[in-house]
Amino acid sequence: MPSASEPTTAPTAATAPAVTLARRPVGRIVPAVAVLVLAAAVLSFPSLAPNPYILSAGVVVLNYAVLSTSWNFVGGFTGYISLGHGALAGLGAYGTALLVTRAGLPSFVALAVAALLVAALAVPIGFAALRVRGASFVIVSIALVLILLLVFQSWASLTGGSRGLVVPRPFPGLLRPEHHRVFYFLFAGLLGLALLAWWLIDRSRFGLGLKAIREDEDKAEALGTPTFAYKLVVFVVSAGFTALAGGLYALWFGDLDPVFQFSILTGSYMVLMALLGGVRHLFGPVVGALVVGFALEYFKVEFGNTPLHLVATGLLLALVVLFMPDGVLPAIGGLLNRLSRPTQSSIREVTAAQLRDERAAASAAEGTRDRGDAAAATAGGRPQSTRERA
Amino acid sequence: MPSGALLFQSVILGLLLGGLYALLAAGLTLYFGIMRVVMIAHSAFLILAAYLAWWSHSRLGVDPLLSMVVTVPLFFGCGVLLQRLLLARLRPVTLTMMSVLLTFAIAVVIEGLLGYVFTGTQRRIQLGYGSASFGLFGARIAVVKLIAFGLAAVALAALYLLMKKTTFGWALRATIQHRDAARLVGIETDRVAGYGFGIGLATAAVGGTALALDTTIYPSLHWHWIGPLMAIIVVGGLGSVPGAAMAAMVLGLMQSLLQIPLGTTWAQTIFYLALFATLAFRPQGFFGGRLAQRF
């Protein structure tokens, strides 16, 4: 072996640590680039959309993305699955609409006030639902949808009942395509806000406590995590964002009907999107919203109003729950990992037999290298010591 | 103040309704006991059975009660398959949450298929004895309601005898109480759990037939049933069959009585109020045992 090429060829045995070192900056750059690409794609969509219908479909998908990201505050961090977040969105929508029509507030002030009211209402709901574990929480979340549907349908003098409630447009002068465009950007902004909040919680000590609840609530409590308070706070945050999305939808769509606002299906779409994308990932719900939102629009176009979209939703949900409970993003990540295993196998995944072989090879290589220069020997010594630790 | 006869009528109707609730809640409790599964699709199967009863009456011309000869074994088989093929595949750690989603998905699929096959039109069985009724101390009681109650009572009694007096019931109760210990003493818990699910679903077949006798049915009706039923099992204490039966009778009675001043729609809210009050003040339910503490 010529000694001139030694420094570059010697660390062949040291690829594993070299890659982990190199991966760290890559680990930071890849998400940053992904975020930029995603943001650029989202923001350029309105100018690329060929007609207002596509643009309005984009608004619907963004609405779904905000909703499922809001859902993921509870579902992703704590593992508590709520099927009733549709009701919170409906409350936000009706709250905004009623504050505009009855109290005469400006549209966006009404939106903010409604979101705060819903967040406040989420405190007693969460108090009842979160004191007990899993099963009761799901039951309460479903009951919430059913009870609110009952109330909003029956209380026709306030809510308009089944005749619906018309929400005045916030920008009366705008033509319809322009209206879609403005709301597209509003929803995009709200999505950015929700993602930022999720990201911040994910990195915080608070988020760590929430994830501890997801993994093992008893142990988390034993270690001093105020589990009930944490669950309640994150539920309230989630309710606030969900209400914002619902209220913005009310301002955009302009017509509310209890059957659609307090539909158990809305909540199940949120769950489906988040699960499909991957509840443990920041962008999981967004990816899920893209897939499910597109599929829903496609179904509407293909099959019209037949109940077949129910069957499709149910089948998709069952498939995700049975075969992909961690979502698409981890599945893709796992696939990539498997394909590129030879170059980036982590130290821990090496079996004892492989370790023995590698050591033998390394020591043999070291033996030959000792005759070369001393610098190469120290470079070769580094993987040796990391492996000892493993 | 409503008249005495009206009150008496409401009490009778409430008890008859409570009997049906009790049967259906018993099925839900069974699932929960066996696998800690909240079976959202229970009421969807209920409506499915009601549709099958309606279909056999209107298309084949047989009495809806006879449809049970087919639906009960059919549903039993469905329950066994559901448990063995689908629910048993879920990871134990997240079983409670994921099973809710899975059974929810099944409920939605059933609703969609019912809507596709039978359309969304409201259906009702027209029976010869459908409008017959008799007087009892000034209250009018429809014969079909009494038949429905009788069905529920017979099914509940059979369930009780099965659970308490047979070897299978003994094995099932052991599986519910402590699965690992049951396996240690030689009970094939997987098979028993499957059969337990089958029995639970068979109660839905009986309940659905009873429901079809005097109710107008439509595909999305099951949402009106799952809410009250889930409230009942929480109020009764998750996993407790006597608790569920008691809660069913009490809440059914209250719903019936509240219909006098409030009307049918608002009277339904009693279930949800009871649910929230129970969780806020006594989360383990009013008759709940060991199981309910942690769920």
Q: Quick one: three-class SS letters along A105-166?
A: CCHHHHHHHHHHHHHHHHHHHHHHHHCCCHHHHHHHHHHHHHHHHHHHHHCHHHHCHHHCEE
Cβ distance A314 to B98 less than 8 Å, yes or no, reads no
Helix (H) or strand (E) holding B134: strand B133-136
Same domain, A39 and A119: no
CA distance A130 to chain B (A): 9
Q: How confident is the model at residue A313, as a pLDDT?
A: 85
Give a yes or no: residue A243 inside a domain: yes
Q: What is the domain partition of chain B in residue ranges?
A: 8-220
Across the interface, whether the CB atoms of B283 and A132 are under 8 A apart is answered: yes
- pLDDT tens, A207-217? 999 999 888 88
Chain B, residues 236-255, CB within 8 A of chain A, namely 238
Q: What pLDDT score does B198 carry?
A: 92
Answer whether B36 sits within 8 Å of A135, measured CB to CB. Answer: yes
- Within 208-237 of B, beta carbons closer than 8 Å to A belong to 219, 223-224, 226-227, 230-231, 234
Q: How many domains does chain A have?
A: 2
Question: Are residues A23 and A129 part of one domain?
Answer: no
B218-271 pLDDT, tens digit each: 888 888 888 889 889 888 887 778 888 888 989 989 988 888 888 777 888 888
Instruction: Kindly state whether residues A16 and A70 are assigned to the same domain.
Output: no
Residue B293 has pLDDT above 60, yes or no: no
| Mean pLDDT to the nearest integer, B180-197 | 87
- Asked if A120 and A35 sit in the same domain, the reply is no
Task: Kindly state whether residues A235 and A310 are assigned to the same domain.
Answer: yes
Q: Could you say which residues from 70 to 89 on chain B have a Cβ atom under 8 Å away from some Cβ of chain A?
A: 86, 89
Same domain, A179 and A317: yes
Stronger pLDDT, A354 or A254, i.e. the higher one? A254
User: Domain check: are A312 and A390 in the same one?
Assistant: no
Overall average pLDDT of the A24-36 stretch: 72
Q: Do A321 and B268 touch (CB under 8 A)?
A: no
Tell whether A191 and A252 lie within a shared domain: yes
| Higher-scoring residue by pLDDT: B195, A169 | B195
- Indicate whether A306 and A218 sit together in one domain: yes
Of the residues A321, A323, A324, the best mutation for testing chain B's interface (the one with the most B CB atoms within 10 Å of its CB) is A321
Residues 276-295 of B with CB under 8 A from A: 276, 279-280, 283-284, 294-295
Is residue A304, in this structure, part of any structural domain at all? yes
pLDDT digits (tens, 9 = 90+) for B9-44: 888 888 888 888 898 888 888 888 888 888 889 999
Q: Is B209 helix (H, G, I), strand (E, B) or coil?
A: helix
Phi, psi values for residue A104, rounded to 5°:
70, 25
pLDDT tens digits, one per residue of B55-98: 988 888 888 888 888 889 999 999 999 888 888 888 877 788 88
Does A155 lie at the interface with B, CB-CB under 8 angstroms? no
Asked if A81 lies within 8 A of B38 by C-beta distance, the reply is: no
Q: What integer pLDDT is reported at residue B283 of this predicted model? A: 75
Kindly state whether residue A146 falls inside one of the protein's structural domains: yes
Structural domain span for residue A316: 54-339
* Mean pLDDT for chain A overall: 80
Q: For residue A92, tell me if it sits in a domain.
A: yes
Instruction: Please report the pLDDT score of residue A201 as a whole number.
Output: 93
What is the spatial distance between Cα B213 and Cα B65, in angstroms, rounded to a whole number? Answer: 9
pLDDT class of B138 with cuts at 50, 70, 90 = low
- A79: region left, alpha or beta (phi > 0 left; psi from -120 to 50 alpha): left
Is a pLDDT exceeding 80 seen at residue A16?
no
Size of interface A-B (CB pairs under 8 A): 143
Q: Is the domain of A150 the same as that of A20?
A: no
Q: Is B265 on the interface with A (CB under 8 A)?
A: yes
C-beta neighbour count of B138 within 10 angstroms? 11
CATH of the domain at A153: 1.10.3470
Which residue in B91, B276, B294 is closest to A133 by CB distance? B294
How close, in Å, is residue A287 to chain B by CA atoms? 20
Instruction: Quote the pLDDT of residue A8.
Output: 42
Q: Is the pLDDT of residue A71 over 90?
A: yes
What is the per-residue pLDDT for A24? Answer: 52
* Least confident range of A11-20, A178-187, A323-332, B59-68: A11-20
Does A301 touch chain B if contact means CB atoms closer than 8 Å? no
Whether residue A129 is found in the same domain as residue A194: yes
Q: Is pLDDT above 50 for A375?
A: no
**C-alpha distance from B90 to closest chain A C-alpha (Å):** 7
pLDDT (tens digit per residue) in B57-69 = 888 888 888 888 8
pLDDT at position A113:
94
Inform me whether the pLDDT recorded for A237 exceeds 90.
yes
Q: Mark whether A26 and A173 lie in a shared domain.
A: no
pLDDT at B186: 85
Question: Does B262 touch chain A if contact means CB atoms closer than 8 Å?
Answer: no
Three-state SS sequence of chain A: CCHHHHHHHHHHHHHHHHHHHHHHHHHHHHHHHHHHHHHHHHHHHHHHCCCHHHHHHHHHHHHHHHHHHHHHHHHHHHCCCCCCHHHHHHHHHHHHHHHHHCCCCCHHHHHHHHHHHHHHHHHHHHHHHHCCCHHHHHHHHHHHHHHHHHHHHHCHHHHCHHHCEECCCCCCCCCHHHHHHHHHHHHHHHHHHHHHHHHHHHHCHHHHHHHHHHHCHHHHHHCCCCHHHHHHHHHHHHHHHHHHHHHHHHHHHCEECHHHHCCHHHHHHHHHHHHHHCCCCCCHHHHHHHHHHHHHHHHHHHHCCCCHHHHHHHHHHHHHHHHCCCCHHHHHHHHHHHHCHHHHCCHHHCCHHHHHHHHHHHHHHHHHHHCCCHHHHHHHHHHHHHHHHC
For the cut 80, the answer to whether the pLDDT of residue B54 exceeds it is yes
Q: For residue B287, is pLDDT > 80? A: no
Do residue A135 and residue B100 have CB atoms under 8 angstroms apart? Answer: yes
Confidence (pLDDT) at A69: 94
Q: Is the CB of residue A259 less than 8 Å away from at least one CB of chain B?
A: no
Task: Compute the nearest-CA separation of A304 from chain B (Å).
Answer: 12
* Mean pLDDT confidence for A299-320: 83
Which pLDDT band, with edges at 50, 70 and 90, does B129 fall under?
A: low
pLDDT score for B144: 80
Q: What is the value of ipTM here, to two decimals? A: 0.85
pLDDT tens, A132-152? 777 778 888 888 898 898 888
Q: Which residue of A has its CA nearest to B284?
A: A132
Other CB atoms within 10 Å distance of the CB of residue A163: 10
